Amino acid sequence: MTREEKLEYLALLEEKAERLEKYRYKTLGERLYPFQRELVKATSTHSQVMLMAANQIGKTFSGTYIDAIHAMGQYPDWWDGHTFDKAPLLWLLGYSGVKCRDLLQNPIFGRRIENKWQGGLIPPEYILDHESMIGTPNAMQSVYVRHGGGGDVQYQTSKVQLWSYSQGQHALMGDKVDWFHIDEEPKDQQIFPQVLIRTTNGDQGNGGRGILTFTPENGRTDLVIQFMDTPGDGQYLIRAGWDDAPHINEKVKQTMLASIPPHQREMRTKGVPMLGHGRIYDLSEEYITCEPFEIPDHWMVIDGMDFGWDHPQAQVQLAIDMDTETIYVTHAWKQRQVSPDEAWGATKIWSKDVPTAWPHDGNQTEKGSTKQQKSYYSKAGFNMLSDHASWPDGGNGVEAGLFEILDLMRKGKFKVFKGLRAFFDEFLQYHRDDKGRIVKTNDDVLDGVRYAYMMRRFAVRKGDVGKPKIVKANPIPTAHRW
């Protein structure tokens, strides 16, 4: 190539790089993490989607990417989230005018330099006009965006409004909102209800929708409890931590972890709300986690079950190392509104022929039938023990089980296979209220564990599972009622 040809080629490469950066929204979807793709998809089926996540994993970016796509109406081919046929009104909310500018406005629209927009997800030619926010330099109250989602020959115009919580709930009145993005949880618990009211007639009368992206620094607030424990029909919760964001390498994790106060580590690294009152199992996830391994045939196994419908049905399996008197949780599964046959289909690969402990309400007789609840699970395929879970003396006290399991955990004799999120999501939130009572929500898997632990005297050798056998008690000498 001649020098002139090389210069021309270099100019073309630079122009290509500039175009790729300018229109990067077109290819960013290919690099989204699974939890970010889940956030997109959940907006198609739920009107309120909460991403409760750790720090520095890209939770705000997850939201601003979706915001930008809705504002432009430029939906990529893979998009499986909600779409707007008409240019929407979007509300983006943050702590303050500065936070709205730095965390929401700048990533979406970029900075305004010499009367030109630069560096945002939305290309400058799509930004039609703006109105400044009073009191915060370079912050916008409203931005108008060319929307390509309509069917008219002339383009439509989306309106993006940015609100700070410091403006108060009374500022959030009057409009029919199509889409909202609440970034970081407001301490004023009336902000979210006010935003929801504004969505009632949004999206052409179908009702607006939106997302919440935050790290739960305020603890188990009413809003967090609602999504975690008693979600409504239109609500969906996504949890994500450092392990869900591969861009944070292990060295950085260790460095950051060392600087985080111990009582904040679960919140900062896993997105777990800090509890106002005591956790029952007050240990870190890492302390009881172990890598999965093949259970030896001479170890004992037993399953535990907690019945459910409105709250999840849960099934767990414990493996017991007789030599070291150590218990391992090797399987954990739960699902809301599933039949006994569906529960069996989901767990039979590991629960087939393993004795299953169950709670006393399994003895309840269904109205209009003479059958007990446990009989439906026996018919489905589960190897239900003949009697409900109890201690060897016949009692079924809860506190004794909690104390013994916690004691084993602290001694390193209770381990859980890595990756059992059904267990750990409950483990990290299991707590008492301000009167010392156990909070009986989101504890289905933990109850299953406790039932199996109580009945471990009926565990069988793994190598004997599926073989003809006589069920008998297998006492194990230890201080923990073995």
B/e letters for 123-141, b = 16+ CB within 10 Å, e = fewer, are beebbeebeebeebeebbb
- Beta-carbon contacts of 77 under 8 Å, excluding residues fewer than 6 positions away, are none
459: nearest Cα among 276, 269, 340, 327: 327
Q: Which two tokens stand for residue 248?
A: 């944070």
In whole angstroms, give the CA distance from residue 192 to residue 174: 15
> Tokens representing 113?
């330099």
E strand map for 172-321: 179-183, 209-214, 235-240, 289-290, 300-306, 313-321
How far from each other are the two terminal CA atoms of the chain, in whole angstroms?
A: 82
Q: Which one from 14, 15, 184, 294 is the annotated catalytic residue? A: 184
C-beta atoms surrounding 191 within 10 Å = 20
Rounded-to-integer distance, Cα 365 and Cα 352, Å = 25
- Dist CA 67 CA 88 (whole Å): 10
Degrees (nearest 5) of the Cα angle 428, 433, 438? Answer: 70
C-alpha 302/C-alpha 306 separation (Å) is 14
CB 238 within 8 A of CB 51: yes
393 token code pair: 């003396």
Judge whether 291 counts as a catalytic residue.
no
Give the angle 183-187-193 at the CA atoms, nearest 5°: 75
The distance from CA 135 to its chain's CA centroid, rounded to whole angstroms, is: 36
Residue type, 288: I
Q: 281, exposed or middle or buried, with CB in 10 Å at 0-12, 13-18, 19+?
A: buried
The CA distance from 54 to 251, in Å, is 17
Q: How far is CA 457 from CA 229, 303, 355, 401, 470, in A?
A: 33, 12, 11, 14, 14
65 close to 25: Cβ distance less than 8 angstroms: yes
168/188 Cα distance (integer angstroms): 8
Q: Could you give the residue numbers annotated as active site? A: 184
